[in-house]
Amino acid sequence: MKLVSVITLGVIALSTAACANSGASYRPIVDGPQSATYESDLAACQGVAQQRSYLNGDVRNDALIGAAVGGAIGLVTGDSEDAWDGALGGGLMGGGAAMHETRGERRDIVIECMKGRGHNVVG
């Protein structure tokens, strides 16, 4: 595997790992004073958001599609080693993109849960 490929895959892996604990830990902005139950409601809503796993079916599917596309491009443009590099890079990019979407979903779960509990969430 070429040094550039190793460095690129390392950066992608570290970027993906950085998302692991985010989204569910979001603290929404509330218009007006926070109620006495704000902190307990926030903790409960963050717990609900954590139920949306980063290793869900969407992430697996996008990683597989990315690996297939990357492998095909690598095979067309080079040899079998390039195909493996492409499959690995495509899988990481596809899975990483889906994990990033999951982060947004988890944030939205916190917001909607807090609204459902009567907090005036604006963002």
Cα first-last separation, the chain: 44
For residue 40, what pLDDT is reported?
96
Residue 10 clears pLDDT 70, i.e. is over it:
no
Q: What is the CB-side half-sphere exposure of residue 61 using CA atoms within 13 A? A: 3
Lowest mean pLDDT among 2-11, 22-31, 88-97, 111-120: 2-11
Q: Give the pLDDT confidence of 23-82 residue by residue, as tens digits.
A: 889 999 999 888 889 999 999 999 999 998 877 778 888 888 888 888 888 888 888 788
8 Å CB contact between 66 and 91: yes
Lookup: tokens for 31:
């218009």
Mean pLDDT computed over 13-21: 54
- pLDDT score, position 13: 56
This prediction's pTM: 0.67
User: Radius of gyration of the chain from Cα atoms?
Assistant: 19
| Cα–Cα distance measured from residue 39 to residue 16, given in angstroms and rounded to the nearest whole number | 29
Residue 106 has pLDDT above 60, yes or no: yes
Q: Are 89 and 69 in contact, with CB atoms under 8 Å apart?
A: no
Does the pLDDT value for residue 113 go beyond 90?
yes
